[in-house]
Structures are given as C-alpha cells and as structure tokens.
Amino acid sequence: MVNQGLPIVGIKRLSLSDYPGKICANLIIPGCNFRCPYCSERELIFDFIPMPKISEDEVIAFLHPRLGFLDGVCLTGGEPTIHRELPAFLERLKSIGSLVKLDTNGSHPRRLAHILGRKLVDYVAMDVKLPLKKYQETVSCSISVSELLESIQLIRRSGVDYEFRTTVVPGLVDEKDLLEIANTLRGSKRYVLQRFKPGLTMSEACAAIEPYSVEVMSHFRDLVAPYVGEAKLRV
C-alpha cells in the first residue's frame, strides 16, 4: 500500500491562543484511541474516514511562504500520535523552519520518545484527564497507566517546552481529583486547568453539564499551584 502521509482533515489558518506566545496555524489530525464522554470532536473519531484529506504537500505549500508572520503550527485532533506517519511529517515541518506544537493524550510513549529525542517539536501539551486510576472507567478503552506515566516523565525530561492540562468537567473531575493529578505532576513546569464548554459531546449526558464558575476554577488553580512551577487557567 502506498503511504499517503499523515491524515490531515483541516487547517485553521490563524490562531493566537493555541500555541502559547506564538502565532500559529492549527492542523486537525483525525482519529483517537480514547472515548472521553465530554469530547467535542466526535466526528474526528467516528466519521473521519470519508472526510476530504489535505495532503502534506498542500500544508507545506500553505505554511512555508507564511513563516515570518506565522511562527509555526499546532497539531491537534483527535490524537496525532496514533499515526505512524507523524514523525516523518514533523521532520518536513522542521525542515522549512517551522515551530511545532503537539497536542497529545500521552498514550503512545514510544512514538513520543522518538519525536522528543529527534527534537521534532518545540512545545508539547499533554492532557492529563483524570487521576490515573480513574482513566479506565472514563475513557472507555484499554489504558496502560505505566505508559501515561512514561509519557509524563519523557516530556518533563525532554528539554522541550511543555504543559500538562486538565479539562475540569463537573461530575467527572472535582477538587480531590485535581489535587491527585497535581501530586502526580509535582515539580512540573506548567499545569493548565481548562474550563469545560458544553455543547455537542461524545456522550449526550455531558452536553448540558453546567461548567464550574470562573470563581470555582480560580479556586482550583490556587489549590494546584503549590505543586507546579506555574498554574494557569483557561476559561
């Protein structure tokens, strides 16, 4: 079978918020091995096979002449690391001088180790969705806690800029959970708490959940702050 390259189903041509401190384009990578009930990207998991794909060449042709105005790209999804074609595409991005941010759930530490070891990314954002002992019951698939921990340690030791982040979903993530996650991440550079946004979600039960207030989110941030170098809030 001919390698068709990394599947890419969308380009957000300009983002001021997805890559901290940088102006970037977002590349949407479909497919995911998790089934988080609050995920808002259902179509990227179940409906991406018939979606029109954007070739790697088209992405390079779009990005290369815009570098200078754009600092680089953010690869998000979906879960980019499920695709074996990812490292080769990252090499192409680096070859044209692009900065690269990678969003990941941390479930593929060997691929992540290769990417970090080759310095193919400049920033990694890993979602730590729950206390590790609660993953199995929530993401509805087989999870290796040891592999998640391995990814956390790889990122921390890599020398690449990074953040860990948790989407704080009422009914799934509470104060006790956040303290347990923060303890797992103790000593990490940056931990970001993201406010849940209701809408079209994987599980209909999550669609109408009322998010925590900004005041409660600020309280959560203050609770986890002593564990990490920097605790941030995204609302």
| Span 148-173, pLDDT tens digits | 999 999 999 999 999 999 999 999 99
Query: What are 71's two structure tokens?
Result: 């600092």
Whole-number pLDDT of residue 2: 43
pLDDT tens per residue, range 92-148: 999 999 999 999 999 999 999 999 999 999 999 999 999 999 998 888 788 899 999
Over residues 44-62, mean pLDDT: 86
Whole-number pLDDT of residue 104: 98
Q: Which residues contact 4 (CB under 8 A, 6 or more apart)?
A: 53
The runs of H, that is alpha helices, within the chain are 42-46, 56-63, 86-95, 109-117, 135-139, 145-157, 175-184, 214-224
% residues pLDDT > 90 (the chain): 81
pLDDT(48) > 80: no
Q: What is the phi/psi pair of residue 155, to 5°?
A: -65, -45
Whole-number pLDDT of residue 47: 63
Whole-number pLDDT of residue 38: 86
Q: What is the DSSP letter of 209?
A: P
> Going by CATH, does the domain composed of 10-234 fall within 3.20.20.70?
yes
CA dihedral 152, 202, 76, 29 (to 10 degrees): 120
Whole-number pLDDT of residue 1: 38
Whole-number pLDDT of residue 4: 76
Phi-psi domain of 106 (left: phi exceeds 0; alpha: psi -120 through 50; beta: other): left
Q: What pTM was estimated for this model as a whole?
A: 0.95
Q: Which residues contact 83 (CB under 8 A, 6 or more apart)?
A: 6, 7, 29, 31
Q: Which residues contact 117 (CB under 8 A, 6 or more apart)?
A: none
Over residues 203-231, mean pLDDT: 95
Query: What are 48's two structure tokens?
Result: 């991406």
Amino acid in position 28: I
pLDDT(3) > 80: no
What gap in Å lies between CA 185 and CA 132, rounded to an integer? 11
pLDDT(187) > 60: yes
Q: Choose between 40 and 34: higher pLDDT.
A: 34
Domain residue limits, the chain:
10-234
Q: What is the mean pLDDT of the chain?
A: 94
4 to 86, 114, 158, 177, 235: CA distances (angstroms)? 12, 21, 30, 41, 37
What gap in Å lies between CA 164 and CA 174, rounded to an integer? 17
Nearest to 232 by CA among 100, 210, 173, 224: 224
Phi-psi domain of 200 (left: phi exceeds 0; alpha: psi -120 through 50; beta: other): beta
pLDDT band at 199 (very low <50, low <70, confident <90, very high): confident
What gap in Å lies between CA 188 and CA 227, rounded to an integer? 8
Over residues 204-211, mean pLDDT: 87
